[in-house]
Amino acid sequence: MATVQIRDVLKSYGTLQVIHGISLDIADGQFVALVGPSGCGKSTLLRMIAGLEEISGGDVEIGEVIVNDLPPKDRDIAMVFQNYALYPHMTVAQNMGFSLRMQGISKAEIRAKVERAAEILGLQQLLDRHPRHLSGGQRQRVAMGRAIVRAPQVFLFDEPLSNLDAKLRVQMRSEIKELHQRLQTTTVYVTHDQIEAMTLADRIVVLNAGRIEQVGSPLELYDTPETLFVAGFIGSPSMNLIKGKVVLGDSPTIVTTDGVSLPLPLVSGLEAGSEITYGFRPEHLSIDPSGMKATVVVIEPTGSETQVNARFGTTPITAIFRDRVDFRPGDSVPLLPDNKRAHVFDTLTGQRLHA
Amino acid sequence: MVTTARPRTKKPNYHWMLHAGLIAGAVLMLYPLLWMIGSSFKPEGQIFSDLNPIPQSLDFSNYIKGWTLGTGVSFTTFYLNSFMICAGAIVGNLFSCSLAAYAFARINFKFKPVLFALMLGTLMLPFHVIVVPQYIIFNTLGWTNSFLPLIVPKFFAVDAFFIFLMVQFIRGIPVELEQAAMVDGCNRGQTFLLIILPLLTPALVTTTIFTFIWTYNDFFGQLLYLNNERKYTVALGLRQFLDASGQSSWGAMFAMTTLSLLPVFVIFLFFQKRLVDGIATTGLKG
């Protein structure tokens, strides 16, 4: 186990720069998720930690050793790939024991370690099979077994669940979390799925276009997104974001181009006429006679909650109600965002305006 | 309402005609081969007087006469020589072509596209173009009248066809496998030996078979470099029966030619499926 420190790391391919100076400290035993849309550089960053991608600038430290020029095999890491990358010509046991074999460890010891890892993951029955005879979930588990068998300093996961079907994904997600709680190994986990990141990680790093947007615990990111990007990215269904101009009267309001007017929470830095974006989560809308009239478009009941797609004027919004609601498409319903939990962003800079 | 049942138009069956045509074609193509095999069992006098490929009696004297040749060197030597050259060529091709293919498929180096194009260009270069300069080189090295000119070049990846075959195959192997191997503690060499080579098996089998057939069937190269009867191969041995003065022993030649077909025939019989595998499956599933 070890800390991972990333300092001002750059990556460029020729003249194209894809990572623009990222710094990140990962504490010993922490589970960090790198999340962002495709092309944001999250996999590249992970592969630089692994040593599969050259570092164009800055330093990567694992366990207080700068590993910039160390080959992957000398970094004491284990990686789980998106397509698992199991060696097709080896059995499950050989796959899991391969790294130990490369270290020159005796056969008996390899057997013992592989069996212990297989027991943790419930793979005892499959040790003599070849990967082609395994199901997707089993392959995934073997890939994890290959990683844990060598007890590395750091686990690296590169979108390990994206090849599984939805049900299996949820199951493996909790298995990964359980495994981490058990082994307490420092873990860096790349995903584009923010739910995966939220449920697994101690800390989430949101990346966008090669830069860090925000680092924080899952709930920090959810409750106080620092930028418009994070606000839109974290949460499903995503936050309602309404663009407009500030009108200062008795109390500040936002007015959109199509005439929707909503009261704003008290934040600093509001100037009359400035362009802002007002954000509120779907579950923070309530039916209130003092609210703004919204036109219901679609109602999606899931049983535990009801998602309502509606419009403030022409602006589409989403609302989620825990109580059963009796709307029909076309109904006009007064909806009021909870301003204690609403967010205001500067539209031009994308930065949050704090209270 | 009365519906008149339309008489079903039954297509006339042309299959038997097609088959008859194909069988006639096959017999036509096979006749020379059958005639040769049949003639190997006939007494010398009957060979050219009797066009029926089926011999009246099975006479093995041609085989005995042919094998011992009467010059002190027998076909035992020729077969051993042929197999030795084949073995050398196979080892050389497997070793050098797989390494060259791995480099072209996975390692980035300067001028790679140009070198790859040049390598493929040699596919279009007929052997006869390089035969004179090559002979001069080997003669200067003092390698003529030995197996070296037929084996040593194979260790330098000269068969572009096999390199290309393996390059395509390696490109089909997911690159993550190698990255996983590197994380697991392999260097380049170990990745190649422990991951790529085992997965390359179908292409290696194809290379082995084709190298054997091409080397075994090669006449020109062996004729060029081997002058001593003790160094002769099967292909050169067969030529011994033809005499410029007209004293050719046809029966013995046909007998030995028939025998010489056996190794190739056996290889085709056993590896037919692997041959197609190697060419058709340039990748892995799952």
Closest Cα to residue B198, out of B164, B156, B227, B170? B170
Q: State the pLDDT at residue B282.
A: 40
Cross-chain Cβ contact A131/B284 below 8 Å? no
Cross-chain Cβ contact B176/A83 below 8 Å? yes
Cα separation, A59 vs A74, whole angstroms: 16
Residue B204 to chain A, least CA–CA distance (Å): 15
The single-letter code of the amino acid at B110 is K
pLDDT of residue A7 exceeding 70, the answer is yes
**Rounded average pLDDT over A147-151:** 91
| Superfamily the domain A237-346 falls into | Nucleic acid-binding proteins (2.40.50.140)
Cross-chain Cβ contact A132/B187 below 8 Å? no
Residue A244 pLDDT grade (very low, low, confident, very high; cuts 50, 70, 90): very high
Domain ranges of chain A: 4-231, 237-346
Q: Decide if A85 touches B, using CB distance below 8 A.
A: yes
**pLDDT tens per residue across span A250-306:** 888 898 888 888 889 888 888 888 999 999 999 999 999 888 899 999 999 988 999
The single-letter code of the amino acid at A146 is R
Sorted by sequence, the CB contacts under 8 Å of residue B111 that are 6+ apart come out as none
**Rounded average pLDDT over A177-196:** 93
Out of A85, A103, A132, the one facing B180 most closely (by C-beta) is A85
Per the structure block, which two tokens stand in for B21?
A: 């045509």
**Rounded average pLDDT over A133-147:** 91
Q: What angle do CA A115, A121, A124 make, to 5 degrees?
A: 45
For residue A74, count other CB atoms closer than 10 A to its CB.
Answer: 12
Cross-chain Cβ contact A52/B198 below 8 Å? no
For an interface test with A, the pick among B175, B177, B184, B194 (most A C-beta atoms closer than 10 Å) comes out as B184
Cα separation, A281 vs A238, whole angstroms: 7
Residue A99 to chain B, least CA–CA distance (Å): 4
Q: At what angle do helices A107-121 and A136-148 cross, to 10 degrees?
A: 130
Q: State the pLDDT at residue A271.
A: 86
Q: State the pLDDT at residue A6.
A: 94
Sorted by sequence, the CB contacts under 8 Å of residue A57 that are 6+ apart come out as A8, A9, A10, A11, A21
Residue whose structure tokens are 């009867």 = B229
| Chain A residues touching residue B199 (CB < 8 angstroms) | 88-89
For an interface test with B, the pick among A54, A83, A89 (most B C-beta atoms closer than 10 Å) comes out as A89
User: All domains of chain B, ordered by start, with CATH?
Assistant: 16-59 (no CATH), 75-280 (1.10.3720.10)
- If you measure CA to CA, which chain A residue comes closest to B179? A52
Residue A104 pLDDT grade (very low, low, confident, very high; cuts 50, 70, 90): very high
Residue A98 to chain B, least CA–CA distance (Å): 7
Q: Is B14 strand, coil or helix? A: coil
**Could you name the CATH architecture of A4-231?**
3-Layer(aba) Sandwich (3.40)
Cα separation, B79 vs B237, whole angstroms: 9
Residue A66 pLDDT grade (very low, low, confident, very high; cuts 50, 70, 90): very high
ipTM: 0.85
Dump the DSSP string for B92-122: HHHHHHHHHHHHHHH---TTHHHHHHHHHHG
Residue A142 pLDDT grade (very low, low, confident, very high; cuts 50, 70, 90): very high
Q: State the pLDDT at residue B117.
A: 95
Cross-chain Cβ contact B181/A103 below 8 Å? no
| Chain A residues touching residue B190 (CB < 8 angstroms) | 102
Q: Decide if A297 touches B, using CB distance below 8 A.
A: no
pLDDT of residue A98 exceeding 50, the answer is yes
Q: State the pLDDT at residue B283.
A: 37
At A71, phi and psi to the nearest 5?
A: -70, 160
Q: State the pLDDT at residue B8.
A: 61
At B231, phi and psi to the nearest 5?
A: -95, -5
CB pairs under 8 A between A and B: 59
Closest Cα to residue A351, out of A279, A287, A293? A279
List the beta bridge partners of residue A12.
A17
Q: State the pLDDT at residue B70.
A: 65
Q: State the pLDDT at residue B285.
A: 40
Q: What DSSP designation does B251 have?
A: H
**Rounded average pLDDT over A22-41:** 94
**Average confidence (pLDDT) per 10 residues, chain B, 286 residues:** 57 84 93 90 82 81 83 87 96 96 94 94 88 93 93 94 94 92 93 94 89 92 90 89 71 90 88 65 40
Cα separation, A317 vs A294, whole angstroms: 9
Closest Cα to residue A24, out of A10, A40, A41, A7? A7
